């Protein structure tokens, strides 16, 4: 039976060259949309103004076009969407679910009183020990400090879940338990002091605003997805279906990261490799070059 048309997206941050891992993420989103007769969108996640560069953004489009991927307009930029994030923060603040935090990473590790290897790690690093949670809360939402979600207060009365359609080992309905959110996620930052928002908040608002039906992303973001489903619940937004895909790794088995410039698509491009060879390599593991 043909599936209904999906709306998917590729959401890169223009902070460096796209590598093979990005190419795979873009291909997965593109192919699922096209196979269903749906739409494939690009969203530039440029909230971290200190790290994003217009040159990188321009290269993203060149690389995607070279790979043979076509996308549907309009392209969204998160830097143009700050008012929507502010409105969501106001809503959560008014519900008493956020509190300001002045801790840096060193303060957090000191409060946890444990060597870094021994502390519980959440999707954004060490699970926050709650140092600032009980300080008096200002009347007006401050914009010069980080804002954390008070996880214990934010937990819903009935359990949440999401549907996974990607990796076969993960497929099915995933319940999100209060214990998991408290112990393995904790009070995450929803607005960073220097940005006025965060990845988690912006991605949830924009996926809903763009009507994304199927969120495709690497399996490394599986834990982050649980935060997103909670935020959708708190903000009255629909929960899309999810498709977490495998990660592209180097010869040592390490996940490719931005610093892996050696695998930047542009290098393959200038070496004269055909985009089809990249596709073959990513989908079948066939050797490159």
Given the rule CB under 6 A, which residues bind ligand GLU? 11-13, 45, 203, 217, 221
* Residue 93 or 164 having the CB closest to ligand GLU: 164
Contact 161, 174 (CB under 8 A): yes
* Residue 100 or 166 having the CB closest to ligand GLU: 166
The two structure tokens encoding residue 111: 């409060």
Gap between the Cα atoms of 270 and 259, Å rounded:
19
Q: How far is the CB of 203 from ligand GLU (least distance, A)?
A: 5
Q: Is 69 exposed, middle or buried (0-12, 13-18, 19+ CB in 10 A)?
A: buried
* Residue 41 or 154 having the CB closest to ligand GLU: 41
Gap between the Cα atoms of 237 and 216, Å rounded:
18
Q: How far is the CB of 35 from ligand GLU (least distance, A)?
A: 19
Q: How far is the CB of 228 from ligand GLU (least distance, A)?
A: 8
SS3 175: strand
Q: How far is the CB of 221 from ligand GLU (least distance, A)?
A: 6
* Residue 182 or 221 having the CB closest to ligand GLU: 221
Q: Which residue is nearest to ligand GLU (CB)?
A: 217
Which ranges in the chain belong to alpha helices (H)? 20-35, 54-66, 82-94, 105-112, 151-154, 178-180, 199-209, 222-235, 265-270, 275-284
* Residue 45 or 164 having the CB closest to ligand GLU: 45
Q: How far is the CB of 25 from ligand GLU (least distance, A)?
A: 7
């Amino acid at each position: 039976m043909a599936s209904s048309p999906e709306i998917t997206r590729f959401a890169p941050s223009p902070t460096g060259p796209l590598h093979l891992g990005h190419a795979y993420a873009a291909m997965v989103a593109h192919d699922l949309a096209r196979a269903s007769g749906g739409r494939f969108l690009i969203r530039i996640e440029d909230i971290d103004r200190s790290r994003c560069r217009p040159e990188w953004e321009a290269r993203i489009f060149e690389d995607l076009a070279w790979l043979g991927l076509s996308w549907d307009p309009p392209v969204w930029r998160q830097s143009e969407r700050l008012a929507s994030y502010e409105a969501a923060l106001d809503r959560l603040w008014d519900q008493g679910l956020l509190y300001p935090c002045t801790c840096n990473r060193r303060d957090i590790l000191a409060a946890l009183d444990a060597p870094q290897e021994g502390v519980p790690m959440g999707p954004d690093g060490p699970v926050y020990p709650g140092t600032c949670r009980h300080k008096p809360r200002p009347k007006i939402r401050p914009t010069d400090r980080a804002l954390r979600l008070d996880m214990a207060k934010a937990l819903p009365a009935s359990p949440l879940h999401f549907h996974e359609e990607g990796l076969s080992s993960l497929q099915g309905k995933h319940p999100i338990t209060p214990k998991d959110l408290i112990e393995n996620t904790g009070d995450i930052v929803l607005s960073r002091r220097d940005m006025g928002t965060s990845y988690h908040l912006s991605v949830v608002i924009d996926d809903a605003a763009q009507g994304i039906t199927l969120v495709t992303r690497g399996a490394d973001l599986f834990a982050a997805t649980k935060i997103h489903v909670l935020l959708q619940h708190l903000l009255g937004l629909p929960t899309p279906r999810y498709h977490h895909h495998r990660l592209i790794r180097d010869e040592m088995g390490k996940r490719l990261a931005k610093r892996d410039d050696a695998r930047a698509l542009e290098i393959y491009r200038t070496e004269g490799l055909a985009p089809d060879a990249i596709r073959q390599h990513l989908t079948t593991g066939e050797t490159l070059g």
